[in-house]
């Protein structure tokens, strides 16, 4: 028996060994599980755990980058960023309700906030476990200094850039403005926001287990790019001053003025009235921030006649010297009668444009035809966006030719049944000023990095619209508008000028018909005529009282042009008007008492006329005398016209308010009245021309 038990014990494993093996197996499994878990945590869940640890140990603040500068064409600052202090609180550091109340009372007293509301916000943030709460963004230095002096718990400051416009409202509609979050909300600031903004940085703050900061480090931000505009600060200022004075004087709803270089397509000035200060955007109604230069659609009226006249001349249908029957001022198209503002008989094509004959424009449109007319309209750039680097541009209104009615050609030829923007119209006149080539208008000249390296230069699209011969013919015809036509108040002192007036009735929203009281007065012109340096458009919306383009808009063109042309280094190209003044002044001493009285009466009338015109005072560069950019008709003695060209004679007589009866061509050989004779306004001057052998 004992032997059998001994044998069985030898064949059966020891119980302790089994237990040891069992424990060992458990330990191995446990270690494997731990290893698997560690591998999972280290590899699969690593990023989440690191982020959780960093959130517990680190506090990160995003630092706003410095926005790039906006410069004018002379590298003068139009917009820059300045450093300001922003205020935030860490609610976790407010340990007691007393801390919350103390912070709320002190901060509210400086920032003019609601104390009870601020206490509620702080308490709610603390209960919710929040670690960050903005109290104020981009404070003034005085406010920041007062709050720093309190030494409040949990209150911290962060430096943030703030957009600043050193010239106030200058070019506000071009520049735009920036919101509290640092994003551009209008103008160039909005269109180029991504390039101007730059890249944000981060400030990391290390905290211990008690939440106290003990170390910090920063990843610096990268400043934005600099935008160099085509705008000239001086030209912009003069345009805004002249436009603002005109809108105020005419009690108009609004106004727009654009100065364009026709050869490069660069916009030297773009002004709207009323305007706003981008440093204080909240102080104006949203309507004041609308950019009417490219958002306001209006019927252009007679300024649009350049299309029908250009098309007829370009297609070889007429020449400027050809004559056209204006039918005593009335024409009927598809049962609709359209009239001229005066009854004209037979006029040359050039005179028909100078006199702004609707009948002549319509007859030319009929000769051109619907399809060709539509083609020329689109070639001049109407019906599509110009591509200007500003938000909100509209393409205008131009129906497909298939939707034209039988009478549409009569309306469109004189600038009705379609809508344009001031920018489109300025670009169209730029075609004629640039010998028939349209250069796309643009505002951005160059983009530079923060280190000054150029990364972009503008290369605007160019396309030929009409031949150089057609463009030059139209320039000569448009000069007649300022000399003997509807825009005599656009004549410049020392410079030749050309252009076209427009007076369009607005549509009454109630009756859906043309209003008898609301008009859009406009003038588009360029100077000097032979080699235009600038195209200037002035549009006045709903002027009260005088509403014709020649009376309201043309004087603003004159004021702007006379002031900016010398600034741009453009030499005067006319001298006869100055010589006429000198002749008159040098012979006044021999006037009879009757003539002196007549001159005095004329002077009074001239001063009264000046008082009705919007004028901008400037200081003459030669002797410092204050003069006004208004045409003068003071001369009372006939100047010596012998040896002068047809253009010079027409300009001088228009300056004196006289009518010209010309015979022949070339240079003046005879004149009547004789030089030095007394003349009066409206008198007819007979002039004989002849060419030298």
Q: Which residues are catalytic?
A: 302
- Over its C-alpha atoms, the chain yields an Rg (Å, rounded) of 38
Work out the angle at residue 469's Cα, subtended by the Cα atoms of residues 443 and 467, and round it to the nearest 5 degrees. 55
- What strand order describes the sheet that includes 201-207? 58-63, 201-207, 213-219
List the beta bridge partners of residue 506.
none
**HSE (CB half, 13 Å, CA atoms) of 182?**
26
Distance from C-alpha of 481 to C-alpha of 14, rounded to nearest angstrom: 125
- Of 518, 523, 475, which Cα lies nearest the Cα of 500? 523
| Neighbouring residues of 17: CB distance < 8 A, sequence distance ≥ 6 | none
- Of 550, 59, 447, which Cα lies nearest the Cα of 229? 447
Distance from C-alpha of 510 to C-alpha of 500, rounded to nearest angstrom: 31
Distance from C-alpha of 207 to C-alpha of 673, rounded to nearest angstrom: 98
Distance from C-alpha of 653 to C-alpha of 477, rounded to nearest angstrom: 17
Query: Contact, 345 vs 330, CB < 8 A?
Result: no
Per-position DSSP letters for 137-190, written without gaps between them: EEE-HHHHHHHHHHT-TTEEEEEEEEEE-TTTTTTHHHH--B-TTS-B-SHHHH
Distance from C-alpha of 252 to C-alpha of 256, rounded to nearest angstrom: 11
Query: Contact, 306 vs 428, CB < 8 A?
Result: yes
Neighbours of 407 (CB within 10 A): 16
In the numeric block, which tokens belong to residue 646?
A: 């047809």
| Neighbouring residues of 523: CB distance < 8 A, sequence distance ≥ 6 | 303, 487, 490, 499, 500, 501, 502, 537, 538, 549, 550, 553, 554, 556, 557
Q: Given the structure tokens 């003990």, which residue do they identify?
A: 214
Q: Read off φ and ψ for residue 406, nearest 5 degrees.
A: -65, -30
| Neighbouring residues of 292: CB distance < 8 A, sequence distance ≥ 6 | 254, 256, 272, 422, 539, 541
**Do you know the residue count of the chain?**
693
Distance from C-alpha of 312 to C-alpha of 473, rounded to nearest angstrom: 12
Per-position DSSP letters for 359-384, written without gaps between them: HHHHHHHHHH-HHHHHHHHHHTTTTS
Distance from C-alpha of 639 to C-alpha of 648, rounded to nearest angstrom: 12
Distance from C-alpha of 381 to C-alpha of 458, rounded to nearest angstrom: 20
Helix (H, G, I), strand (E, B) or coil at 262: coil
Q: What is the DSSP letter of 67?
A: P
């Amino acid at each position: 028996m004992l032997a059998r038990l001994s044998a069985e014990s030898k064949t059966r494993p020891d119980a302790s060994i089994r237990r040891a093996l069992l424990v060992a197996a458990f330990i191995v499994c446990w270690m494997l599980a731990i290893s698997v878990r560690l591998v999972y945590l280290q590899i699969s869940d690593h990023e989440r755990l690191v982020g959780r640890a960093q959130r517990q140990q680190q506090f990160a603040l995003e630092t706003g980058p410095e926005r790039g500068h906006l410069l004018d064409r002379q590298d003068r600052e139009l917009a820059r960023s300045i450093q300001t202090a922003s205020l935030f609180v860490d609610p976790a550091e407010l340990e007691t309700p007393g801390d919350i109340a103390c912070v709320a009372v002190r901060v509210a007293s400086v920032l003019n906030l609601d104390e009870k509301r601020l206490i509620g916000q702080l308490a709610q943030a603390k209960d919710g476990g929040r670690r960050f709460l903005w109290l104020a963004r981009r404070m003034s230095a005085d406010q920041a200094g007062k709050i720093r002096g309190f030494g409040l718990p949990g209150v911290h400051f962060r430096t943030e850039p703030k957009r600043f416009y050193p010239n106030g409202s200058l070019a506000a509609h071009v520049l735009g403005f920036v919101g509290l979050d640092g994003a551009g909300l209008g103008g160039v600031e909005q269109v180029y926001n991504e390039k101007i903004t730059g890249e944000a940085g981060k400030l990391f703050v290390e905290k211990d287990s008690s939440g106290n900061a003990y170390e910090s480090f920063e990843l610096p931000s990268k400043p934005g790019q600099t935008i160099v505009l085509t705008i000239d600060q001086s030209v912009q200022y003069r345009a805004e001053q002249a436009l603002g004075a005109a809108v105020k004087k005419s009690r108009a709803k609004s106004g727009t003025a654009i100065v364009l270089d026709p050869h490069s397509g660069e916009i030297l000035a773009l002004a709207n009235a009323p305007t706003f200060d981008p440093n204080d955007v909240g102080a104006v109604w949203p309507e004041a921030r609308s950019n009417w230069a490219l958002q306001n659609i209006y019927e252009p009226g007679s300024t649009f006649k350049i299309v029908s006249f250009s098309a007829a001349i370009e297609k070889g249908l007429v020449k400027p010297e050809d004559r056209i029957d204006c039918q005593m001022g009335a024409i009927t198209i598809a049962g609709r009668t359209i009239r001229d503002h005066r009854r004209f008989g037979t006029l040359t094509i050039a005179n028909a444009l100078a006199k702004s004959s609707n009948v002549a424009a319509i007859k030319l449109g009929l000769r051109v035809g619907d399809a060709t007319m539509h083609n020329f309209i689109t070639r001049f750039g109407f019906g599509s966006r110009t591509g200007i680097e500003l938000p909100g541009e509209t393409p205008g209104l131009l129906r497909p030719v298939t939707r034209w009615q039988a009478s549409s050609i009569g309306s469109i030829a004189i600038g009705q049944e379609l809508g344009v923007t001031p920018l489109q119209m300025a670009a169209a006149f730029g075609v004629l000023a640039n010998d028939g080539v349209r250069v796309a208008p643009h505002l951005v000249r160059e983009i530079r990095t923060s280190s000054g390296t150029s990364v972009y230069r503008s290369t605007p699209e160019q396309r030929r619209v009409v031949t150089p011969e057609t463009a030059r013919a139209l320039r000569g015809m448009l000069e007649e508008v300022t000399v003997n036509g509807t825009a005599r108040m656009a004549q410049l002192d020392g410079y030749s000028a050309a252009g076209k007036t427009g007076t369009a009735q607005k549509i009454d929203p109630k009756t859906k018909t043309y209003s008898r009281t609301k008009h859009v007065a406009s003038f588009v012109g360029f100077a000097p005529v032979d080699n235009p340096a600038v195209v200037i458009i002035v549009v006045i919306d709903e002027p009260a009282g005088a509403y014709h383009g020649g009376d309201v808009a043309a004087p603003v063109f004159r004021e702007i042009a006379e002031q900016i042309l010398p600034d741009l280094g453009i030499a005067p190209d006319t001298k006869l008007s100055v010589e006429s003044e000198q002749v008159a002044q040098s012979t006044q001493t021999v006037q009879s008492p009757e003539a002196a009285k007549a001159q005095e009466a004329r002077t009074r009338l001239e001063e009264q006329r000046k008082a009705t015109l919007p004028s901008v005072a400037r200081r003459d560069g030669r002797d410092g005398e204050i003069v006004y950019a208004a045409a003068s008709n003071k001369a009372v003695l006939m100047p010596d016209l012998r040896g002068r060209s047809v253009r010079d004679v027409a300009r001088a007589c228009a300056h004196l308010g006289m009518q010209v009866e010309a015979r022949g061509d070339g240079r003046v050989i005879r004149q009547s009245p004789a030089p030095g004779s007394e003349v009066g306004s409206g008198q007819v001057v007979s002039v004989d021309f002849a060419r030298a052998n």
